[in-house]
Structure 1
Amino acid sequence: MNYPKECWYVAATSDEVGEGFTARRIVDRPVVLFRLSDGSIAALEDRCAHRPYPLSAGHREGDLVVCGYHGCTYDATGRCVRVPSQDNPPSGAQVRAFRVVERGPFVWVWTGTAGGERLRPPPSTPWLQGDGWSSVGERRDVAANLLLLHEHYLDLTNVFEMHPELVPPGIEALPPLEEVEVSEVSVSYTRELPKAPLAPWEAQVSGLDSAESYGRKETGAFVTPGLHKQTYTITGSDGPELELVRTHGFTPESSGATHVFLQISWRGTAVAPDAGTQLAAVFHEMANRDIAVLETMQRCLDEDTTPRRYFNVKADRAAVRARRILTSMVEDERGPHHP
């Protein structure tokens, strides 16, 4: 296990959860989500308490969940309220119910120690709730562990090799990280690029004059193990022209697989009418290439029969700190006597 369990993770997007069942594996736990008649969302362990059969393979009776094996029936708190073969359910028969917070477009779930969610709320994402922002998103399943994804997006110097068409003309290298801020549980960095003409994708999304040169500011943040945020601002002579935020909800399925909930958000004085379509296409293709590399690295790690020591470079400053935080969180959860 190479990820912390005591954390809020994105279980689904709001539009994924309706009257039917949404089954997902989260931190190696089977979870089933469904929307109740009052509009709220319930999340239960996706296993009947009677026999190891998925509740998501059953059906609903109003706000109750009926197992498709013997008909054992559960309410939204996980309590077994009916066993068809006898008058009353066994005392204490229940499945675990998980705390859920819906903060569109994300549905957050806590599968860690019961009650631990009271110590901290899910991270705030105001740019995903309006105030001039628009967003488009998608969900991907990546056969790579959580740490690889965080490290990948905390070092964008790979853009010249992996995504050269996205680089503004005339910029041949990213400037060194100007500022890396570290707390006990988060890492962020800031980088400013020299003025340069627009890359083709920037011109399409913004509608700005391609003959002009613009400044750019880029930031990245390991907010929590379950959330990664990057910003990209194109600045003209009068200030920001276009602000972009790429939000990743990273949710471990297992040690070698991660659910990725991607949201691209934008606002500004220079926004093309079809910005959403353009951005969705650009970042979908970018994600395709990123995923291919990440899954290849995971296969290499799985194939290595002896530990290897890889060197770090200056551009890894933020990624190395994020690794330390994640490693420390995992070790704290294991406890001092864990082997």
Structure 2
Amino acid sequence: MNDTARNHILVDYPRDCWYVVATAAEVGYGFTARRVLDTSVVLFRLSDGAIAALEDRCAHRPYPLSAGHREDDFIVCGYHGCTYDATGRWVSVRSQDNPPSSARVRAFPVVERGPFVWIWAGTPGGERLRPPPATPWLHGDGWTSVGERREVAASLQVLHEHYLDLSNVVAMHPEMVPPGIEALPPLEDVEVSEVSVSYRRELPEAPLAPWEAEVTGLDDATVSASFGRTETGTFVTPGLHKQTYSIIGATGPALELVRTHGFTPRSSGVTHVFLQISWRGASVSPDIGKQLIEVFHAMADRDIAVLETVQRCLDEDPMPRRYVNVKADRAAVRARRILTAMVEDERGV
């Protein structure tokens, strides 16, 4: 099947994948209700600190369990008082001595790692075949992170393709581009495996952009020097995109940044984005966390406006339209093929 034909397939999202369902800070004793992969989920932290995730629907009637209350580590539906344990088993109901045999709601496997809580909402048992992706830069080894969560009215594919081609930065975010660089170098170094795509790009030496000078914490004499930069982007899984940006001085990296996106479909055309900005460096501004989140929040605002417009245009097209690829799309096209293949495989196509 050629790329034009693939462009015309409705690429939904694969279910058999670990996705970020919440940040660790969001899940406490109370209920955290979230819709992921067109499924309503309720999360809550147990007395031993573990996290339970259940389908947010009572097995008796279609009422959210998150609208009920807790009794120790049990969740009690607010409609008829049906009570469930952390495995989803229906353990009691006030109107009779015992609940219907084998009655339960689905419990989802979850893994808490660093700032992210991962959920497996795909084929039951499939989570045993692969763990959530490793993210060591989000928890330790000299890294510090800040983050936020957004909801974007655009599909998983639209988001991945956007962040695998940052040639748009010159047009969309000119203040981020180092002085004297009018276009990003061609995307030549692209690596592809069966399930992942990554690229690497080196920028020519140039002075620091104002935002770079602010966050690096370098003195005025050093700021005027020229620095090299290395940028990478990786489609790690359908649920995770990793982007690195290193500013290289005469003696090595002056600052290393990692922008991590947890992409989680809420539905076919709406995606939760869990953003983490991580950094380490020999010399950084004392306010670097606040500065970085302001810079990348502003970038995300503009990105989201464009991405939601792209999605709206796709939805409005009465017939599939052929859009032309250029060299900068190499990584994005590869990721599209992987997503398409995963969806087709799950559908048995």
Matched, 1:195 2:223: no
Matched, 1:333 2:333: no
**Among residues 55, 58, 65, which one is paired with 1:55 in the alignment?**
65
The equivalent residue for 1:288 is: 301
Shift of 1:326: 0.2
Structure 1 stretches of 4+ with a deviation exceeding 2 A read none
Cα displacement string for residues 285-322 of structure 1 (whole angstroms, at most 9, x for unaligned residues):
00000000000111111111111010000000000000
What's the secondary structure of 2:337's corresponding residue?
A: helix
**Among residues 68, 81, 86, which one is paired with 1:71 in the alignment?**
81
The equivalent residue for 1:262 is: 275
Q: How does 1:160-179 map to 2 (within 5 A)?
A: 160-179=170-189
What's the secondary structure of 2:223's corresponding residue?
A: coil
Shift of 1:130: 1.2
CA distance, structure 1, for counterparts of residue 243 and residue 84 of structure 2: 41
CA distance, structure 2, for counterparts of residue 128 and residue 159 of structure 1: 25
What's the secondary structure of 2:22's corresponding residue?
A: strand
What's the secondary structure of 1:231's corresponding residue?
A: strand
What's the secondary structure of 2:100's corresponding residue?
A: coil
Shift of 1:151: 0.3
**Among residues 244, 254, 257, which one is paired with 2:257 in the alignment?**
244
Matched, 1:113 2:126: no
Matched, 1:213 2:218: no
The equivalent residue for 2:332 is: 319
Shift of 1:104: 1.4
CA distance, structure 2, for counterparts of residue 102 and residue 196 of structure 1: 41
Shift of 1:92: 1.0
The equivalent residue for 2:235 is: 222
The equivalent residue for 1:41 is: 51
**Among residues 292, 306, 314, which one is paired with 1:279 in the alignment?**
292
CA distance, structure 1, for counterparts of residue 327 and residue 187 of structure 2: 8
The equivalent residue for 1:7 is: 17
Shift of 1:201: 0.3
What's the secondary structure of 2:169's corresponding residue?
A: helix
Give the TM-score taking structure 1 as reference length.
0.98
Matched, 1:24 2:17: no
CA distance, structure 2, for counterparts of residue 292 and residue 119 of structure 1: 37
Shift of 1:229: 0.2
Q: How does 1:101-180 map to 2 (within 5 A)?
A: 101-180=111-190
**Among residues 319, 322, 338, which one is paired with 1:306 in the alignment?**
319
CA distance, structure 1, for counterparts of residue 62 and residue 102 of structure 2: 17
Shift of 1:45: 0.3
Aligned length: 336
Shift of 1:6: 0.2
What's the secondary structure of 2:123's corresponding residue?
A: coil
CA distance, structure 1, for counterparts of residue 31 and residue 123 of structure 2: 24
Shift of 1:207: 1.8
Matched, 1:97 2:107: yes
Cα RMSD (Å) of the superposition? 0.7
Shift of 1:178: 3.1
Give the TM-score taking structure 2 as reference length.
0.96
What's the secondary structure of 1:177's corresponding residue?
A: coil
Letter in 2 for 1:317: R
Letter in 2 for 1:136: V
Shift of 1:210: 2.1
CA distance, structure 1, for counterparts of residue 211 and residue 159 of structure 2: 24
What's the secondary structure of 2:79's corresponding residue?
A: coil
